[in-house]
């Protein structure tokens, strides 16, 4: 019989309101999640491991680094075919991406959760858990890295993002689409993801800042970052990777101090590339020494940089690691 381990970390799927209309908090165990299943997937032996039960908005990098180590430990067991991680949706795409980067095993790692908490009559948690279990047990997902399963669709962790605050079909992969879907009890893989690179690091550097740029933003915060001795900065920039006036000079001051500055795009699709000149256009930023993140989303570029810095990666190798 195939064995799947469910790791419960809290989130909406494990949350309920203690009083009608009161605040929703996490607290249900993995066993409770399995008890709520309408139908258990057949032919699969289920195990439970309870992790920190909190809303995903309260998680930090050290906790998720520890979660990735837990996933690896569980997957080292020969009889375990895959893992399901029950997780909050707020930062699920970030935790899944870190698992994609850090987990050594090529066995399936499937993140899932809910948009409607466990106390609501139409909670989406039980169906998502059941479908995620089917994915974790499927040989088709071996070698596909971490995925997110919601509403029957599963997406590659590198590409997926949360696009709606409350809808149950919130996870999408803009421009690329899902990897596959669960239809009834059958898992269908429609495309293969590119080969992934596993990063080995004993710590994720927490001192990498992410700055969202808007029209007329000033580079003052970049100078603050220099004074605060941050480890790295990611700019969520315009379009192809452009910034408001003054950002190239401010970025150069950081780069000259050995602080990597990575540029990603605010856009949901496409990749950054130095095309435009002028004050803080992409080519000017490139001349200042920034690193372009290709098609990687800004929040994930921050995580990749945190992992690389945690591993004491030289700047030249960091630049290569972001080559898309």
Is 100 a known ligand-binding residue? no
- pTM for this entry: 0.95
Is 56 a known ligand-binding residue? yes
**Looking at the 3D structure of the chain, how many domains does it have?**
2
* Co-location of 217 and 110 in the same domain: no
pLDDT band at 236; cut points 50, 70, 90 = very high
* Co-location of 19 and 162 in the same domain: yes
Structure tokens that stand for 136 in this block = 């974790």
Is 90 a known ligand-binding residue? yes
* Strand ranges in 57-143 using DSSP code E only, listed in sequence order: 80-86, 109-112
pLDDT band at 177; cut points 50, 70, 90 = very high
* Co-location of 51 and 156 in the same domain: yes
The residues that are catalytic are: 12, 89
The answer to whether position 258 is within a domain reads yes
pLDDT higher than 90, residue 260: yes
The answer to whether position 238 is within a domain reads yes
Mean pLDDT of 218-230: 94
* Co-location of 169 and 243 in the same domain: no
* Co-location of 163 and 294 in the same domain: no
* Co-location of 148 and 17 in the same domain: yes
Q: Is residue 240 within 8 Å of residue 265, measured between CB atoms?
A: yes
Which pLDDT does position 254 carry in this prediction?
A: 96
The answer to whether position 303 is within a domain reads yes
CA distance to 5, 36, 115, 124, 269, per residue, from 14 (Å): 16, 11, 11, 11, 32
* Co-location of 239 and 158 in the same domain: no
Structure tokens that stand for 62 in this block = 């050290």
Tokens 């899944």 — which residue? 96
* Co-location of 286 and 173 in the same domain: no
The answer to whether position 195 is within a domain reads no
pLDDT band at 143; cut points 50, 70, 90 = very high
User: Minimal CA–CA distance to 270: which of 233, 299, 296?
Assistant: 296
Mean pLDDT of 58-82: 97
Long-range Cβ contact pairs of 218-227 (< 8 A, separation 24 or more): 218/244, 218/246, 219/243, 219/244, 219/246, 219/247, 219/249, 219/250, 219/251, 222/247, 222/250, 222/251, 222/253, 222/254, 222/261, 223/250, 223/253, 225/254, 225/259, 226/253, 226/254, 226/257, 226/259
**Tell me: the pLDDT tens digits for 84-97?**
999 999 999 999 99
pLDDT band at 4; cut points 50, 70, 90 = very high
Which pLDDT does position 184 carry in this prediction?
A: 93
The answer to whether position 125 is within a domain reads yes
The answer to whether position 18 is within a domain reads yes
Domain that holds residue 63: 2-189
The answer to whether position 35 is within a domain reads yes
**Tell me: the pLDDT tens digits for 268-324?**
999 999 999 999 999 999 999 999 999 999 999 999 999 999 999 999 999 999 986
Boundary of a domain, candidates 155, 189, 223: 189
* Co-location of 50 and 84 in the same domain: yes
Q: Give the dihedral sign, CA 190/80/70/168.
A: positive
Share of the chain above pLDDT 70, in %: 100
Residue 21 burial class via C-beta count within 10 angstroms: exposed 0-12, middle 13-18, buried 19 and up: exposed
The answer to whether position 80 is within a domain reads yes
pLDDT higher than 80, residue 241: yes
Rounded to 10 deg, the angle between the 247-256 and 220-227 helix axes is: 10
* Co-location of 168 and 214 in the same domain: no
Boundary of a domain, candidates 189, 224, 240: 189
* Co-location of 16 and 121 in the same domain: yes
User: Minimal CA–CA distance to 107: which of 146, 68, 69, 70?
Assistant: 146
Q: How far is CA 253 from its chain centroid?
A: 30
Boundary of a domain, candidates 189, 219, 254: 189
* Co-location of 39 and 147 in the same domain: yes
pLDDT higher than 90, residue 77: yes
Q: What is the CATH number of the domain that holds 158?
A: 3.40.50.1170
């Amino acid at each position: 019989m195939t064995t799947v381990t469910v790791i419960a970390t809290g989130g909406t799927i494990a949350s309920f309101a203690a009083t009608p209309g009161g605040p929703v908090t996490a607290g249900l165990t993995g066993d409770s999640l399995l008890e709520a299943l309408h139908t258990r997937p057949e032919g699969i032996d289920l195990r439970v491991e309870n992790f920190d039960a909190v809303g995903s908005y309260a998680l930090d990098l050290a906790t998720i680094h520890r979660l990735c180590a837990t996933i690896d430990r569980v997957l080292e067991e020969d009889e375990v075919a895959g893992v399901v991680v029950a997780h909050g949706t707020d930062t699920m795409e970030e935790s899944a991406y870190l698992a994609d980067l850090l987990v050594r095993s090529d066995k399936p790692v499937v993140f899932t959760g809910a948009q409607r908490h466990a106390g609501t009559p139409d909670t989406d948690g039980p169906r998502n858990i059941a479908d995620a279990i089917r994915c974790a047990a499927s040989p088709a997902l071996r070698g596909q890295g971490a995925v997110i399963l919601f509403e029957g669709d599963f997406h590659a962790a590198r590409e997926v993002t949360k696009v709606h605050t409350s809808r149950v079909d919130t996870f999408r992969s803009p421009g690329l689409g899902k990897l596959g879907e669960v239809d009834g009890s059958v898992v269908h893989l429609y495309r293969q993801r590119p080969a992934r690179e596993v990063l080995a690091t004993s710590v994720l550097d927490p001192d990498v800042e992410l700055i969202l740029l808007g029209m007329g933003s000033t580079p003052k915060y970049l100078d603050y970052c220099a004074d605060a001795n941050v480890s790295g900065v990611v700019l969520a920039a315009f379009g192809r990777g452009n910034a408001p006036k003054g950002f190239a000079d401010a970025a150069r001051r950081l780069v000259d101090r050995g602080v990597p500055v990575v540029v990603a795009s605010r856009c949901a699709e496409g990749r950054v590339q130095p095309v435009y000149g002028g004050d803080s256009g992409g080519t000017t930023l490139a001349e200042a020494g920034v690193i372009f993140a290709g098609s990687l989303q800004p929040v994930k570029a921050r995580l990749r940089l945190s992992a690389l810095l945690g591993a004491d990666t030289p700047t030249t190798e960091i630049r290569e690691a972001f080559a898309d």
